[in-house]
Amino acid sequence: MNETTDRFRLDGDVVVVTGGGSGIGKTLAAAYAGVGATVIITDANEEAAESAAAEVGHGATAVAIDVTNEASVTDGFARIADEHGKLDVLFNNAGVNRRVKTTELTMADWQLVIAVNMTGSMLAARAAAAIMFTGGGGRIVNTASALGLSGGWYPNLAYQAAKGAVVNMTRSLAVEWGPQNVRVNAIAPSLVRTPFIKALTDQPDQVKFFEGLSPLGRIGDVEDMIGPVIFLSSRASDFVTGHILLVDGGLMAS
């Protein structure tokens, strides 16, 4: 290796991945382990987190954390701090969606989507930052969405509102925590093939529609998230904070 490739390594770093039991989180947990990090996978589903940690290997461990529950977040991150003594990177990735017309959106679904995607992102970031402040700094990568920057292509109000909040939360925290050497950035994916959108990707006409919107002519794969997230988590992005990195195949440019 040389200095250029070394800047993308995370040897000796402690990384927490929320919502790591499946999808993008699980893929990134493996990617973090592959560049030398000690990985802690958290998920509200303890069994999913433990299964993902076993699959990732490389010493990855699991902690059950429900990001909608302040006590669960506080206790979970305290346990991580006690066991590892520090926290270098948070991939703030837990999320849910309820894709319905606004006239059919129940308050229960609205509150769930806001609780996980917006409030949960804040709670995890706040808990992580408290540990990072004592260790001289760190990096937080939030999972926003192209739908947080757009009116969208189908009715999805709660998700778009929550992800729009994540976009501006990322900028606000970057400004607030920059003096403590905590960098805060976000990725903003478009459609990515995961269990999260299986109901949509099981419809060939819908897939064809979204492929037609993309200059690259396809929707995303989870592997497309690896490079952007590792970049924002590593020394390669040392002078980048408050940035929302679209990972959308050019969708928002068209």
For the segment 120-144, what is each residue's pLDDT rounded down to a tens digit? 999 999 999 999 999 999 999 999 9
Of the ranges 20-24, 104-108, 128-132, 206-210, which one carries the lowest mean pLDDT score?
206-210
Burial of 239 (0-12, 13-18, 19+ CB in 10 A): exposed
How many Å separate Cα 156 from the centre of its chain?
19
How confident is the model over 157-169, as pLDDT tens digits? 999 999 999 999 9
pTM of the model: 0.95
d(CA 102, CA 25): 28
Q: Is the pLDDT of residue 115 over 80?
A: yes
Residue numbers annotated as active site: 159
d(CA 236, CA 241): 12
Helix, coil or strand: residue 49: helix
Domain locations along the chain? 3-247
Cross-strand partners of 185 = 141
CATH superfamily of 3-247: NAD(P)-binding Rossmann-like Domain (3.40.50.720)
